[in-house]
Amino acid sequence: MNVKKVLGKFFLVLLMAMMIAGCSTNKNVSTKGNETSKASTEGKTLVIARLSDAENLDHQFMSTINAASVTHEKIYEGLVGRDKNSEIQPLLAEKWKQLNDTTWEFYLRKGVKFHDGSPFNAQAVKATFDRLLDPKVASPRAVVFKMVKEVKVVDDYTVQFILTEPFSPLLSILANHEGDIISPKAIEKYGKKIIQEPDGTGPFAFKSWTPGQEIVLVKNENYWGTKPKLDKVVFKVVPEETTRVSMLETGEAQIAEPLSVEMIDTVEGSQASEVYRSEGYGTEYIGFNVKKKPFTDVRVRKAIAHAIEMDSIIKGVYNNVGKKANSLMGPKVLGYSADLKRYDYNLNEAKKLLAEAGYPNGFETTLLTMDDKQRINLAEVVQSQLKGIGIKVKVQVMEYGTFVQQVNKGNSEMFILSWRNATGDADYNQYNLMHSASQGPAGNTFFYSNKQVDNLIDAARKEKNEQKRIELYKEAQELEMKDAPYIPVRVIENVAAVAKNVSGFSISPSGYLEINDVTIK
């Protein structure tokens, strides 16, 4: 008996059973290319081995880029999108104009259909945003569009966004996954409940989801734009990184992400795969809860900033993956300022500030972090460095969900976090992280409040002139740096392992996986 053949048949039967157990939909979408023989589809299925599954497939309820990467500009599309240079480009809207300070008009693309066959039109746009903003639906992402008073249908292919106040970054958030348009049939089917079978206009259609195992998309043969070259995409959940990377060696997968700094050398030495790297919008940082003593005193926060030697952290913890940050924004973000000065490494100044604050011998504190190897390494280095000024740090490692919950509630003193700016605009960073109105789960887990900063952020939201907006954000960030509610660590770098026979793959600065141009040789 050929044991390998028996095991192979068993695996295929098991895999088919798993897929039948999962969700499935889009019976109207042609999957002809996926129903032919194995030989004819060889090389046309992209398997992406990922650390974790999506928490859900409803972009109005998603809280992570990890989940949005499955749906955004694959299943769903927005009125506008971004090109490879992160510039706003037409997508489901062919053009637009701002009629006045609070009215934007969009002229929609004709001849577009949702995966279920229904037409894309102004009513679909209105239905999408009516659902998002409906208090009864209680979408956690509604806050992103809280300035939208009404989406008004002018005619079948013209809509107006009526705002409660001027909001210059509107296009930047419409290009994000929260702005993607849903089939009205899906909205009618699911209503206030989370959509289990996503239905959009994108180049790929939803096929199935086996939670904890895999999500399968298939090529949309009726796509209005340039059709993808892939017939199928499988997002496979593989928690163990060594297994993800080995799947590229055996040909079981073509992309493995994320890739840790510890595995970069292994992949670079491979004959089958290579390392993909690109700079992101976001940063990692060490935060202080400014409402918890002794961090209510700015001198204490500044002392710690002076006592951390970041160059050794970038090299030792991150293996030089990601540049040293000088703020909460990466250089690619509109509103970034290269002129911002971080606190220099100066132990004498740190000790002086601590003494002035009444802590000449230091104090004890707790540093919270999620259960991620690099974050734990960073925490331990910070713990070691702060001994130099008498501060005894207890590192507390938590499961990711618990960690986020505790930090959001303010049950923290010091913590390590990151913020992946999803839009590339400073407003997404500044309003969420630094504005008084965003304290807690919205992003301001420093519980920081400065009225002057709030006024600058509010003014920048309304300012039409881009250069003036940049100056307003620069002024706000300079004030924030003086208040020192955080210590910038590094600009996030997107890192993945990619099979050498794959071309056209990229990760956007926001962190979205981009696969529409992928080909497999």
Cβ-based neighbours of 114, under 8 Å, separated by 6 or more: 120, 124, 183, 185, 199, 200, 201
Give me the percent of the chain exceeding a pLDDT of 70.
Answer: 92
Burial per residue of 424-436, b for 16 or more beta-carbon CB atoms within 10 angstroms, e otherwise:
bbbbbbbbbbbbe
**Contact criterion met (CB below 8 Å) for 115 and 183:** yes
Give the Cα-Cα-Cα angle 184, 187, 192 (nearest 5 degrees). Answer: 160
Contact 421, 333 (CB under 8 A): yes
What is the length of the chain? 521
DSSP state of 401: H
Name which CATH class applies to 280-493: alpha beta
d(CA 295, CA 297): 5
Question: Is there a contact between 270 and 501 (Cβ–Cβ < 8 Å)?
Answer: no
Domain 21-73+199-260+496-520: CATH class, spelled out: alpha beta
Q: Of 23-27, 57-61, 184-188, which range is least confident?
A: 23-27
DSSP class of residue 376 equals H
pLDDT tens profile 32-68: 333 333 333 344 899 999 988 888 999 999 878 888 9
Residue located via tokens 């695996």: 11
For 334, the token pair is 């509109």
Q: What is the pLDDT of residues 452-495, one digit of tens each?
A: 999 999 999 999 999 999 999 999 999 999 999 999 999 999 99
Q: What share of the chain is helix, strand, coil (3-state, %, to 5)?
A: 35, 25, 40
Return the domain boundaries, the chain.
21-73+199-260+496-520, 80-190, 280-493
Crossing angle of helices 451-462 and 466-483, rounded to 10°: 160
pLDDT of amino acid 416? 96
Q: What is the dihedral of CA 382, 388, 389, 395, to 10 degrees?
A: 30
Query: Does the pLDDT of residue 9 top 60, yes or no?
Result: no
d(CA 514, CA 442): 27
What is each CA distance from 268 to 265, 501, 508, in whole angstroms?
5, 15, 22
Give the class (CATH, top level) of 80-190.
alpha beta
pTM exceeds 0.75: yes
Banded pLDDT at 420 (limits 50, 70, 90) = confident
4 has pLDDT over 80: no
pLDDT digits (tens, 9 = 90+) for 338-373: 999 999 999 999 999 999 999 999 999 999 999 888
Full DSSP string of 251-291: TS-SEEES--GGGHHHHHT-SSEEEEEEEEEEEEEEEE-TT
Examine the pLDDT at 7 and tell me if it is beyond 90: no
* Number of CB atoms found within 10 A of residue 366's CB: 14
